[in-house]
Structure 1
Amino acid sequence: MCGLAGLWLPNPCLHGEALNALAGAMGATLHHRGPDDAGTWCDAQAGIGLAHQRLSILDLSPLGHQPMASNDGRYQLVYNGEIYNFAQLRAALSALGHRFRGHSDTEVLLAAISEWGLEATLAQCNGMFALALWDTREQTLQLARDRVGKKPLYYGWAGDTLVFGSELKALWRHPDFDNDVAPDALTLLLRLGYIPAPYCIHRDTFKLMPGRVLRLQAADIAAGAAAHRPEQAQRPFWDARQAMQEALAAPFTGDAAAAEERLDALLRDAVGLRMVADVPVGVFLSGGTDSSIVTALMQAQSARPVRSFSIGFSGSHHDEAPLAREVAAHLGCEHTELYVDGRDALAVVPELPRMFDEPFADASQVPTALVAKLARTGVTVALSGDGGDELFFGYSRYVRALRNWQMLRAVPAPLRALLARRAGGEGSRTGGLAVLFNEAGARGIGDVYRNRISRWRRPAAAVRGAHEPETFYSLAQPLHGAGTPADAMMLADFTTYLPDDLLCKVDRTSMAVGLEARAPLLDWRVAEFAWSLPLAFKYREGHSKYLLKQVLRRYVPDHMVDRPKRGFGAPVGDWLRGDLRAWAQALLDPARLAAEGVFVPESIQAPWQAFLGGQRKWHTHLWTVLMFQAWQEGWRQARADVAGQGGAGQGGALHPA
């Protein structure tokens, strides 16, 4: 895994040494993503600079160094990720006459682009990636991101210069990047706990969406951010909704036994591909269905005990370590577990603004950071079980949303309209009839589900001058009428929650310690097969992930399969009432909020006082605000650091406090 960064000036004005220094300074902020090697490439006449930080996984020799040029010199590439089927692509390219110096997937990717073009190449790639490709012949820059969005890529304008990178830290390092908070994007953080692509916490700054390519010419750079609507400018080479619609139109026709056989074969191949590395490989093991099946399939294909890692929480109902230990012992893994208490977890909180340089409020970021740090002591690559819930109907909220939608459809429209007028705003977060009142005006399953996953229900009321943008969750019918309501909810999570929350969390916490995380359940072949299956193969007799569990039974005893789902969470409410109370009180102080001018202080104080008074569930509202406040402190310090370093090329890596 690696980090990439770059810039493109609309009117080239830096000589080569200065441009190289600035690109290098931007790249150096990502040293944690790639501590093994660093490189830059610049063309001062074109005003383009590329930088790369390398975590060596395949071909540890200098032949894998980036930025890398194509053999004909046309392309320069910086790339973050892994192409798992690079060996097959290399064989096909060799048959066409291509010759290779090393055995890195980067060299294969460049040869494929030279042979077939970027989008045709990406359509053949099975992997996770974000990349920037400079075409010296056409003087164009293309940014691309993998199908699911496993690897991040930000871009925006620093003054009139295009800047881009794997994390916002790289963009911050440009002396002209002074883009303030985007209030509209902040409302999405309050509602969801994260900011989904293409939005970003900064003005004039965007995330590349999963499965998209952004092609830019010099005229685009000169026009600046105002000329671009990112959701329109980003062109899909793979679209999840279209892929699901096509899978639904050609459903799997076999019985459950045939589906189980097919899924086992697909998962075995997906796991096997992700075990290929020139460094030690392990697995995150929680003891749940998803991580257990990945671990089982790894061990079935390994001649040595697989290294597995889990975190245990002392005295907490969140403790899954005994389950993981039991699975590891049965499979014969070399298991490592670390028990932590509240003090260990709380020690991570001050580090969160450094790991997540965009505000992020999924509190499971804390245990995820702990298990990533643990795994890095033994391996450089770790496989995870991400994706099983979104593909195989794994969340209990799906069942509740379907129940509520069926109830609402039975209520006459005039009565539903009357009930909707009694919607309780933020108060509906506490449950009861207020939830049904809030959902009464739903136009479709998308509206009901949006209410189920929302933290703040009226976030724009809490942010000064804000209007909440639309997202995939704003759609009443996410599948445009195709499939079932269950399919629609899983698609909404696959396109939004999965890349912008779960995969973001794993990427930042693993990369913070130089660990590469791979998710075999999110192989695109597995996803498209899952979408072709009827709901009865996923949810049966009140139990979710039916087919996944049937596959798991091939490798472990039934009692290790038939367990209630446990979330990989953190006791945020206990923290805010205990050790973090003073920290939270300071960040939520009404005078401070008024002086900063971002939030409406009264809107923040209401849930804070309700929480302190003992009302349940308000901690999820408050954590979103606190994560923004902590991030804002880091961002302000980062700006001050860049100013103190005197601009381009004057210092090393930038690490906000």
Structure 2
Amino acid sequence: MCGIAGIFHLETPKPVDPARVEGMCDAIAHRGPDGQGVWTAPGVGLGHRRLSIIDLAGSPQPMASPDGRAMLVFNGEIYNYRELRQELKEAGAHFRTDGDSEVILAAWQRWGPDCVTRLHGMFAFAVYDCDARTLFLARDRLGVKPLYFAPLSDGSLAFGSELKALLAHPLLRREIDPLAVEDYLAWGYVPDHRAILKGVAKLPAGHSLLLRHGAPMPSPRQWWDISFEHRHKGKAADLEAELLHLMRQAVSSRMVADVPLGAFLSGGVDSSSVVALMAEASAQPVRTCSIGFDVAALDESAYASKVAQQYHTDHASRLVSPDDFEAADLLAGMFGEPFADASALPTWRVCQLARESVTVALSGDGADEALAGYRRHMFQYNEDRVRSLLPQGLRGPVFGALGAVYPKADWAPRPLRAKTTLLSLAGDSAEGYACALSVTPPELREGLYSEAFLRLRGDYRAEQPLMDVMRSAPARSGLDRAQYADLKVWLPGDILTKTDRTSMAVSLEAREPLLDHRLLEFAAALPESMRVRSGQGKWLMKQTMRRFLPDDVLYRPKQGFVTPIAQWFRGPLAQTARDIAASTTLARTGWFDTRRMGALVDAHLSGISDNSRLLWQLLMLEKAFVRLGIG
């Protein structure tokens, strides 16, 4: 696991200052504390920060091919590199190292841009071909590893693992994109189709970019996609066996490392499944870690301990207080862009605990997206059944009118929170799902914005790109489309960004076996009844894991990391909440109605409504603007 950065001149191949590339790498030194390197040639410069995982001493980067005709910088892990290495050796390739980096170089020289289809793993890399005078950038299928890039005024393109690397370049403009603010307030993160700064882009997951000196800037090319159009046929027992085989394969392939390796263990279905399969594949006790909270309603540590005892893991657990708000500044500094998923705080804490004993940790990320594990998936499935019974011409007026007058009741028991459901049923499947995912709904955003911002935003709405993704998805049902959107938008933008930045902040490599693309492709073809059944998501996975895990781990309500931000803003962060409404940083933009912000703060402090998520968003936005030098 590493950090990469570089500069490529699209027009005239001007000299690249090595110190400039080195400065970009220094900005992401936390991603690779074990080594660094810079290589330059006319029109190109590549830089690397290394966290040594495999072939600890033998694979320094930037790495040249044996013939010197190609140069690589690489962030990630290739899990099938040994099989590829053998195939390439049989085809005449020669290797000087034992790691996966040199395999990428050999694959590029043999297959060119199509080499990415042969790679199983998580990666973002750049290969400069000295003969063709091209730079090839690629990102893995799901977007586990990030890659930012930006054209600059001198005709060059800068790229790096994080926005911080680009910010180290003096020619990068620091102008906020107002449409990214709209996206951020809707979702709590800036999705991959945009960046917080104008002119900056993120290479989409499953895409590559081939640049050539003297040629215009091309568009990224998609090299992988997932389809929900097909359905497996067969008995449940046969599908269980296939799923278990794929899970075992995914876990064992991610246990290859030349450094201490362990796993996160929350006590939920996904991390417990990963630990169970690691224990099965390992001759030594698996190292596991978990954190607990000193508030019983938030604490899952008893379930983590139960699984650890069952599999005799070398378990480390730490109790942390949910009153961890002092870490907000540090948290904001980990993400170059505003990021408001408050579960990043406990995720960072468990990464810190893991790093005390291991350098690599396996996580349970991905199973909810792949196998319909979120509660919203069940809602989507049930709502689509209602939509299929009533035509849009009837649903729209009836449910829309009911939703408009039904009171918003976040405080009420779940069955009484009908407003969102009614409004969701009034629209089509994509509109309903976008509404369910939204952190701050459109009407609340409208009231928060100033007239100046509304003019800048124009007709754009943050929900539209997600609805477009759903409507064009290779899928057969509303549930398919929802999961497809999760894999394309939510997963890389929120979940994987959170895990990457919090783990890399402590120089820990996190691996996600349940995001193995072969496992995902199998899950996407499961009949809906194998994903959701009897009010449960991930049905087939839970059936499969019953031989490994107790029912109270498999079938208890999904919890996840919870941060008590509502209580914070009514207690120790009450003054911080008041300061948000009076923020000079946000006020200087002229984009927000400060009186409306003040009213939202007052309503939250008095207990009239829960506006904590929006207040946390505004706090993280303010901190991001300050770090970007805005305001």
TM-score (norm 2): 0.92
Q: How does 1:306-317 map to 2 (within 5 A)?
A: 306-317=286-297
Letter in 2 for 1:278: D
User: Is residue 357 of structure 2 the alignment partner of residue 362 of structure 1?
Assistant: no
Match of 2:431 among 447, 457, 461: 447
- Partner residue of 2:172? 177
User: Is residue 42 of structure 2 the alignment partner of residue 49 of structure 1?
Assistant: no
- Partner residue of 2:502? 509
Q: How does 1:565-580 map to 2 (within 5 A)?
A: 565-580=558-573
Q: How does 1:266-415 map to 2 (within 5 A)?
A: 266-343=246-323, 345-408=324-387, 410=389, 413=393
- Partner residue of 1:188? 183
- Partner residue of 1:456? 440
- Partner residue of 1:143? 137
User: Is residue 485 of structure 2 the alignment partner of residue 485 of structure 1?
Assistant: no
Kindly indicate whether the alpha-carbon contact (under 8 Å) linking 1:191 and 1:455 is maintained by their aligned counterparts in 2.
yes
User: Is residue 200 of structure 2 the alignment partner of residue 205 of structure 1?
Assistant: yes
Shift of 1:155: 0.6
Kindly indicate whether the alpha-carbon contact (under 8 Å) linking 1:472 and 1:478 is maintained by their aligned counterparts in 2.
no
- Partner residue of 2:492? 499
- Partner residue of 2:93? 98
Per-residue CA deviation, residues 588-624 of structure 1 (Å, 9 max, x unaligned), is 3166533332333244334323222313442122222
Kindly indicate whether the alpha-carbon contact (under 8 Å) linking 2:105 and 2:127 is maintained by their aligned counterparts in 1.
no
Q: Distance in 1 between matches of 2:253 and 2:213?
A: 39
Query: Could you say what secondary structure the match of 2:629 adopts?
Result: helix
User: Is residue 1 of structure 2 the alignment partner of residue 5 of structure 1?
Assistant: no
Query: Could you say what secondary structure the match of 1:35 adopts?
Result: coil
C-alpha distance 480-635 of structure 1, shift in aligned 2 (>3 A): closer
Query: Could you say what secondary structure the match of 2:228 adopts?
Result: helix
Shift of 1:516: 0.3
Shift of 1:419: 5.3
327-336 vs 138-147, greater mean Cα deviation: 138-147
Q: Distance in 2 between matches of 1:267 and 1:112?
A: 26
Shift of 1:409: 5.2
Query: Could you say what secondary structure the match of 2:263 adopts?
Result: strand
Query: Could you say what secondary structure the match of 1:186 adopts?
Result: helix
Shift of 1:6: 1.0
Kindly indicate whether the alpha-carbon contact (under 8 Å) linking 1:148 and 1:210 is maintained by their aligned counterparts in 2.
yes
User: Is residue 34 of structure 2 the alignment partner of residue 36 of structure 1?
Assistant: yes
Kindly indicate whether the alpha-carbon contact (under 8 Å) linking 1:593 and 1:600 is maintained by their aligned counterparts in 2.
no
Letter in 1 for 2:98: H
Q: Distance in 1 between matches of 2:357 and 2:581?
A: 40
User: Is residue 75 of structure 2 the alignment partner of residue 80 of structure 1?
Assistant: yes
Q: Distance in 2 between matches of 1:411 and 1:484?
A: 16
User: Is residue 24 of structure 2 the alignment partner of residue 67 of structure 1?
Assistant: no
Per-residue CA deviation, residues 184-203 of structure 1 (Å, 9 max, x unaligned), is 01111111111111210000
Q: Distance in 2 between matches of 1:13 and 1:171?
A: 20
Gaps of 5+ in 1: 640-657
C-alpha distance 433-548 of structure 1, shift in aligned 2 (>3 A): closer
Query: Could you say what secondary structure the match of 2:547 adopts?
Result: coil
Q: Distance in 2 between matches of 1:176 and 1:169?
A: 13
Kindly indicate whether the alpha-carbon contact (under 8 Å) linking 1:20 and 1:41 is maintained by their aligned counterparts in 2.
yes
Query: Could you say what secondary structure the match of 1:598 adopts?
Result: coil
Q: Percent identity?
A: 39
For these two proteins, the number of residue pairs brought into alignment is 615
Q: How does 1:104-119 map to 2 (within 5 A)?
A: 104-118=99-113
Query: Could you say what secondary structure the match of 1:563 adopts?
Result: coil
Shift of 1:404: 3.5
- Partner residue of 1:642? none
Q: CA RMSD in A?
A: 2.4
Query: Could you say what secondary structure the match of 1:622 adopts?
Result: helix
Per-residue CA deviation, residues 190-242 of structure 1 (Å, 9 max, x unaligned), is 11111111210000111111000012233456x7xxxx7xxxx11111012xx
Q: Distance in 1 between matches of 2:110 and 2:330?
A: 44
Q: How does 1:594-609 map to 2 (within 5 A)?
A: 594-609=587-602
Q: Distance in 1 between matches of 2:222 and 2:523?
A: 21
311-320 vs 378-387, greater mean Cα deviation: 311-320
Q: Distance in 1 between matches of 2:215 and 2:567?
A: 50
Per-residue CA deviation, residues 56-96 of structure 1 (Å, 9 max, x unaligned), is 001001x3111111222222111100000000000101111
Shift of 1:391: 1.3
Kindly indicate whether the alpha-carbon contact (under 8 Å) linking 1:260 and 1:547 is maintained by their aligned counterparts in 2.
yes
Letter in 1 for 2:72: L
C-alpha distance 452-235 of structure 1, shift in aligned 2 (>3 A): same
Q: Distance in 2 between matches of 1:389 and 1:348?
A: 28
Per-residue CA deviation, residues 11-56 of structure 1 (Å, 9 max, x unaligned), is 669656xx1000011011111000000000111x32x111100000
Q: Distance in 2 between matches of 1:361 and 1:110?
A: 38
Q: Distance in 2 between matches of 1:526 and 1:488?
A: 18
Letter in 2 for 1:404: E
